[in-house]
A and B are shown apart, each in its own frame.
Chain A
Amino acid sequence: MKIVVGLGSCGIAAGAQKVYDEIKNQLKARGVDNKIEPVGCNGMCYLEPIVEFIHEDGKKHTYTKVTTSAIEEILDGIFQGQPCEKHLIDAKQGDKLYKQNRIALKNCGVINPENINEYIENKGYEAIKKCVKELTPIQVIEEIKTSNIRGRGGAGFPTWFKWNVAMKNKEDQKYIICNADEGDPGAFMDRSILEGDPHAVIEGMMIAGYAIGAQEGVIYVRAEYPLAIVRLQKAIDQARELNLLGVNIFNSSFKFDLKIKAGAGAFVCGEETALIASVEGERGMPRIKPPFPAEKGLWQKPTNINNVETLANIPWIINEGGKAFADIGMANSQGTKVFALTGKIKDGGLVEVPMGTSIREVIYDIGGGIRDDKECKAVQLGGPSGGCVPKELLDTLVDYEAITKTGAIMGSGGMVVMDDTTCMVDMAKFFLDFTCKESCGKCIHCRLGTKRMLEILDRITDGKGQPGDIELLEDLGNGIKEGSLCGLGQTAPNPVLSTIKYFRNEYEKHIVDKTCPAKQCKALLTYEVIQEKCIKCGLCFRNCSVKAIARDENKTYTVQHEDCIKCGVCVDVCPVGAVSVN
């Protein structure tokens, strides 16, 4: 029997490391030498820590939300052949994994990422072997063309096209860069793949290297992902040991090696030319294209940059054939897409679904619906470069063109679900605040334009909005999109423009009526004690940090509006819901 524990960053944050150590201790105390191994996150982050017992006959017992105190009982059950029900996974939850179609995530949560042999046992490094032994670079690119895979990092550019340009370049020295600078707040699929299946990314890079004729690769990873960096380094070392990296790979003339470069925290470095500048040790500022990196990239040499998720799909495409990949999905969006499902969702985590699945299916069938069974208000797709899809459009299919039509973008796959407690103006402000801080400052439109837009949004949420503000935002937004050099500026106004498009009414309420329908913008709220409901317990009075709640001789409590700082503590502490927010 093998025991595996999900030790991705999310699992560890939920306490999985302690669970892992405790199981190890107890196995030792019981004198049994069962194999216990760490695996990455299987996507069901909301159930972490997850422990799986895999029996010789392939039967599996999965325990979720495991605490250290429950381990004894669980182990007792397993060893006595009567698995205890406590913490055992709900069959409905287990079924959800089967609704998905896993290609990029197929090994995540299944294999031990720190052991190359487990990857090899799962068809690992067979694809690159096939390329080196049986296919010419042109045939490899042809296979990728058949699959029609498009870049999963955001822009959705056909992968084969980029490879083809770099392949045709006659320079001797070429580079492959893996863009693992996942900066979108709300997206974490790249982290999960790097932590759960680093070899798939390495193999993807090797195939890309073979196809374009590059012998060197760089993985540019966010410094905020220390675990991913550790596991990648281990994977690289192990691959070198088995001569899968280095020279004479598979006893052929193919040579390839790669190194990790840790980023230093700049969102703009997700942009190709900025990323290259950063790898060269400069400030990560984008430059004008052309020349494209495929012509002049790292150190002025032809360079191919692909995102983590794209690369993780490549070995599968070579193993199963481009056509098998193209058969999944629809129209001009083939294969699967990983989404990071977060926000007001019941079962948040990572899901991988075939293109052509509707957003509604992702949220309700896999994500379990909205928290507290509330109604969905909107879904934010594509992070700061994306936009909001209102609930009326939830039947939109996951397809590059269909999503773009709504004003959002596929982006890297962040899917933030919102209910009626999310203020759309505040949401737009949140993203703009992010892009404004992250602008590299090169283009005036982006540097100053986002700042001015943010000031207007600040004013609106502060209750000082003026007639004409919405039009001004639209005007500025369109100007910034036109006047910026790179994707950051060109897309920064999207969250504002798309929320205006679908929730103009909410902006108007803030500006004209000075109210916030979602009750989030503090300056626009007033707190009141509902006397009929009040049980006179005095909790609000005692917890108010600024003494803004008055008590008279009849123990009647009232909010003194001039002193109130609108912190909301009175609402939180009231046991009977007798404080209203308007």
Chain B
Amino acid sequence: MSCCRENDDKIDRIVKKFANKPGSTISILQEIQELYNYLPKDVLAKVAEKTNINPAKIYGVATFYKQFRLNPIGKYLILLCQGTACHVNGSKKIEAGIYEELKIKDGETTEDGIFTLNNVACLGCCSLSPVMMINDETFGNLTTERLVEIINEIKAKELKTEVVKSEESRQVV
């Protein structure tokens, strides 16, 4: 519950913002998810309490829409497009490549918590298929080689921050 207490004010603010607007369940959940990166169950209970919306209804909405997730995600969210054009142009191969590189399947997160893979229906960049999005950046015309490059770049960046962090902590000691 600690995370919940920390953000209590923020939850209050979100609920208050939509207090006089009927039909805001989805908007509230969207803002909560932005705050936590996912929808923690205890927070959902708190939202139900504060808004007087039936908890079952909130849970029902949270599980109905694909945008909402009930589990935390990694630092880098890979949205792999599985739209028609991407499918025809080899998104399955890219998916296999991601498994090869990171050992994660759709919906899974790497053990180190860095990457999460989510298959999505269509990113609307069909003419550049196959396409994936990592956080806010879109990558088009993917090949397995290009995928490996992109992932390695992120891994290297992460490693660097790791090193900097550990050096900083050593200095503090």
Smallest Cβ-Cβ distance to B139: which chain A residue: A13
* Alpha-carbon distance A427/B89, docked complex (angstroms): 12
Question: Is A497 part of the binding interface, using a Cβ–Cβ cutoff of 8 Å?
Answer: no
Segment 278-293 of A: residues with Cβ below 8 Å from B: 278-284
CB nearest to B96 among chain A residues? A567
CB within 8 Å for A14 and B128 given contacts A185-B122, A262-B27, A281-B26? yes
* Contact partners of A280 in chain B: CB under 8 A: 22-23
User: Within the assembled complex, what's the spacing in Å between the Cα atoms of A427 and B66?
Assistant: 23
User: Does B138 lie within 8 Å of A414, measured CB to CB?
Assistant: no
Q: Which of B27, B86, B138 has the most CB of A within 10 A?
A: B138
- Interface set, chain B 60-115, CB cutoff 8 A to A: 60-61, 64-68, 82-89, 93, 96, 100
Question: With a CB–CB cut-off of 8 A, which chain B residues contact A12?
Answer: 138
- Those of A242-298 within 8 Å (CB) of chain B: 261-267, 278-284
Count chain A residues whose beta carbon lies closer than 8 angstroms to a beta carbon of B. Answer: 58
Q: How many A-B residue pairs have CB under 8 A?
A: 140
Nearest Cβ distance between residue A495 and chain B, in whole angstroms? 10
Q: Is residue B120 contacting chain A, with contact meaning CB distance below 8 A?
A: yes
B125 interface contact, C-beta 8 A: yes
Range, interface on chain B: 35 or more
Kindly state whether residue B121 has any CB partner on chain A within 8 Å. Answer: yes
Once A13-B131, A416-B84, A434-B121 are accepted as A-B contacts, the answer to whether A348 and B126 lie under 8 Å apart by CB is yes
B22 partner residues in chain A, CB cutoff 8 A: 280-281, 299
Other-chain contact of B64, A279, A284, A349, A568 (Cβ < 8 Å): A284
For the complex, give the distance between the alpha carbons of A10 and B128 in Å.
7
Q: A186-B84, A343-B89, A416-B84 are in contact. Are A45 and B128 (CB under 8 A)?
A: yes
The answer to whether A342 has its CB under 8 Å from any CB of chain B is yes
Residues of chain A within 8 A (CB-CB) of B84 are: 185-186, 342-343, 380, 383, 414, 416, 430-431
Which of B83, B88, B127 contacts A46 (CB under 8 A)? B127
Complex Cα gap A14–B125 (Å): 10
User: Which residues in B have their C-beta under 8 angstroms from that of A440?
Assistant: 64
Residues of B within 8 Å of A567, CB to CB, are 96
Given the known inter-chain contacts A264-B66, A342-B84, please indicate yes or no for A188 contacting B126, CB distance below 8 A: yes
Taking a contact as CB atoms under 8 Å apart, the answer to whether B138 and A9 are in contact is yes
A484-505, CB < 8 A from B: none
Shortest Cβ distance from B120 into A: residue: A224
Q: Does B129 contact A (CB under 8 A)?
A: yes
**Taking the complex as formed, is B30 at the interface, i.e. its CB lies under 8 A from any CB of chain A?**
yes
Q: Does A344 contact B (CB under 8 A)?
A: yes
Q: How far is the CB of B4 from chain A (nearest CB, A)?
A: 22
B24 interfacial by beta-carbon distance below 8 Å: yes
In the complex, which residue of chain B has the Cβ closest to the Cβ of A545? Answer: B100
- CB-CB contacts below 8 Å: A1-29 with B: 9-10, 12-14
Question: In the complex, A568→B123 CA distance in Å?
Answer: 27
Q: Which of A264, A278, A340, A572 has the most CB of B within 10 A?
A: A264
Contact A283 B66 (CB under 8 A): no
User: With the chains together, A434 CA to B122 CA distance in Å?
Assistant: 11
Q: Is B25 an interface residue (CB 8 A)?
A: yes
Asked if A224 meets B27 with Cβ closer than 8 Å, knowing A12-B138, A13-B139, A280-B22, the reply is no
Q: Which chain A positions have C-beta within 8 A of B128? A: 10, 13-14, 45, 48
Q: Is the CB of B126 within 8 A of A340?
A: yes
Best-surrounded residue of B24, B29, B84, B100 (most CB of chain A within 10 A): B84
Q: Distance (Å) between the CB of B135 and the closest chain A CB?
A: 11
Contacts of A568 in B (CB 8 A): 93
B127 and A281 contacting across the interface, CB-CB below 8 Å: no
B55 CB within 8 Å of chain A: no
The closest CB in chain A to the CB of B25 belongs to A281
Contact partner of A186 among B23, B126, B131, CB < 8 A?
Answer: B126
* 6 A-B pairs (CB sep. < 8 Å): A9-B123, A9-B125, A224-B122, A348-B85, A416-B85, A440-B64
| A contacts, CB < 8 Å to B | 9-10, 12-14, 45-46, 48, 182-188, 191, 223-226, 261-267, 278-284, 299, 340-344, 348-349, 380, 383, 414, 416, 418, 422, 427, 430-431, 434, 438, 440, 545, 567-568, 572
The 8 A-B residue pairs with the shortest CB-CB distance, nearest first, are: A45-B127, A264-B65, A265-B66, A185-B83, A342-B85, A186-B84, A281-B23, A13-B138
Binding site for A on B (CB under 8 A): 22-27, 29-30, 57, 60-61, 64-68, 82-89, 93, 96, 100, 120-129, 131, 136, 138-141, 144
Using A10-B124, A224-B123 as known contacts, list a sample of 15 further A-B pairs with CB atoms less than 8 Å apart, ordered by residue number in A: A14-B140, A45-B125, A46-B127, A182-B124, A263-B65, A264-B68, A266-B66, A281-B22, A284-B64, A284-B65, A340-B126, A342-B85, A343-B85, A416-B85, A438-B121
